[in-house]
Every structure is written in C-alpha cells, then in structure tokens.
Amino acid sequence: MNIFITGASGFIGGSIAAGLVRAGHRVTGLIRNPDHAAQLQRLGITPVVGTLDDRELLIAQAQAADAVINAASSDHRGAVEALIDGLAGSNKPLLHTSGSSIVGDASGGERGEAKIYTEDTLPEPTPDKAPRVAIDNRVLDAAKRGIRSSVLCNTLIYGHGAVKGSASVQLPRLVRQAQKSGVVRHVGSGGNIWSNVFIDDVVELYRLALDKSPAGTFYFVESGEASFKEMSDAIAQALHLGPSQDWPLDQAIGEWGYEMASYGLGSNSRVRGTRARDLLGWKPTHTSVIDWITHDMMKDA
C-alpha cells in the first residue's frame, strides 16, 4: 500500500511511518523542515516538504496515495478538509489522530470525580475542546462522502519514538522541568488520572486500522492508566531526585502554558476503548507506564 502521512518527523507520525515501512508499505511523509529529510530517508520514508496550510499539495498527495494518515495536528481544520476533498469518492482509508484531552475536565491536578468515558458515552466537550471535537466529527462524517474514515483518539502515549529527537507530549515535559529545576513537579496534588498507551502498540493499531477499520469509526486508544502523582514519583526515582512536589495551577501554567497545564497535565482523562480490540483484533503488549518509566525511560536518553 502507498501511504501518505502528515507529521512524519514527529513522535507519533514518525513512529507510525517507520512501522508501516517495516510492515512492507511504501510511505510518503509530509515534513515542514527539509533538514529532517535525510533521517526519514534512512528510515525508508520518502519525504515531501510542505505545511498543513499547503492545500493543493495535501489534495495531490491524498489523490496519489492508497491511504492517508493525519498525524501532524488534531486541531488544523483546513488540513483535514483538504485531505477529505482529495479522498472524496475514493473509498480509501483516512485515519485522523485525535487526543483524549477532549474528555479532560481541567481539574487543576485533582482527582475529583474522575469520570470514565467510553466510545459510546462521550460527554459534551468543554468550550476549549469543542473545535477539536468538531474536526473529529468532520472526519467521521466523511464516511458519507465515500471515504473509509476513522478517528483514533490517543491517550497519554509513552515510549521512545522512531525519529531521533522526537518526543511525546506529556511525560517529557515533566522530565525537562525536573532536569531544569532539580524537582519533579505535578499540577496540583497530582491525583488526576490519565489513560495511557505504549507507542509501539499505537503503531500496530494504525496498521490494523488501515486494513480493517469500518468507515466512520471512532476509537479510544488505551491500555492502562495512572495518576500524575504515580508517574511523577516514578520519574523522580528514575532521575534520582527527591519526592515529587505539588505545584499550583497558576505556576504550572507559567511553565507549560494554559492548554498543557490545564488539560495535558492537569486534567483527568479516563477512557475505556473496546472497538480496537473487538473490531480490529488489537492486542496491546504494554499495560504499565510506571514500569516503563522505572526501567526503560532513561535507556535512550
């Protein structure tokens, strides 16, 4: 299969692209920085330089491919619309990458109710997350335009990426702050809980979804959960630092910005996904982010 993937130099997109090459697919990857081209070529990925604003380029690449994966941004509506226009009527797969902060409660790092959501019980999004949910729904509705479209809503992803220098969204921010300050900090009390998933299991799910996913299907991508207090304590142990410390939300916002502090690191995002297992036969191999932090996080550091 000839696959076009956006975000090919990033943590998620690059790992998926490299995994698909290993599985025997031909992969063309969109990158913004031409300096990344050589590394992608070493991974067997054909680079195309451009941005998510290059509508005509996205349409042309979608039309030339057998399948498309958007792994560059969950929030760029223009890019999603261009890919949909390029694929309309083709019955080709379109996999769109979303994130489970869409169910985040912005609890300030407290556990609170910490509700668990399923693929059939999605809540009304907060005003902050309504635009992302609207894009997810736009992708799902593309099934009516002759596209085998799916939304893969990833939880907290951990692991080492295939592209050198790439990093996941949440845990590396905790690590960098700790390395800078000498103290591991979590938002509020750190009682807030996130579902999580290992990057290699994410790659396998995307591979399966390309082959088998029915049109118009939404998936939560998860295989475990942990509180930020548990994860920050494990990071402190791995970095040989003292116990993790609470951090008021306003100070965390000063370090990480509103979006990351309030949602990525300071909310509860607890989900359960059955569709990937039931429809696609997905069998995740890793279920403990704490074990990974303790034994593997620093191996490639």
- Residue 34 domain-assigned (yes or no): yes
**What does the mean pLDDT of the chain come to?**
97
- Residue 247 domain-assigned (yes or no): yes
Alpha helices in the chain (DSSP H): 11-22, 37-42, 55-64, 77-87, 130-141, 171-181, 199-212, 228-238, 249-256, 258-259, 275-280, 289-295
Quote the pTM value: 0.96
Alpha helices in 93-195 (DSSP H): 130-141, 171-181
Number of structural domains (the chain) is: 1
Q: What is the mean pLDDT of residues 229-252?
A: 97
pLDDT tens for each residue of 153-209: 999 999 999 999 999 999 999 999 999 999 999 999 999 999 999 999 999 999 999
**CATH number where 62 lies:** 3.40.50.720
- Residue 300 domain-assigned (yes or no): no
Domain hosting residue 165, numbered range? 2-295
Question: Is residue 178 within 8 Å of 185, Cβ to Cβ?
Answer: yes
pLDDT tens for each residue of 112-146: 999 999 999 999 999 999 999 999 999 999 999 99
- Residue 83 domain-assigned (yes or no): yes
Three-class SS state of 81: helix
CA-nearest of 264, 292, 298 to 74 is 264
Split at pLDDT 50, 70, 90, the class of 299 is confident
Please state, in angstroms and rounded to a whole number, the distance separating the CA atoms of residues 258 and 116: 24
- Residue 301 domain-assigned (yes or no): no
Question: Is residue 232 within 8 Å of 173, Cβ to Cβ?
Answer: no
- Residue 189 domain-assigned (yes or no): yes
Strands 225-227 and 193-198: antiparallel
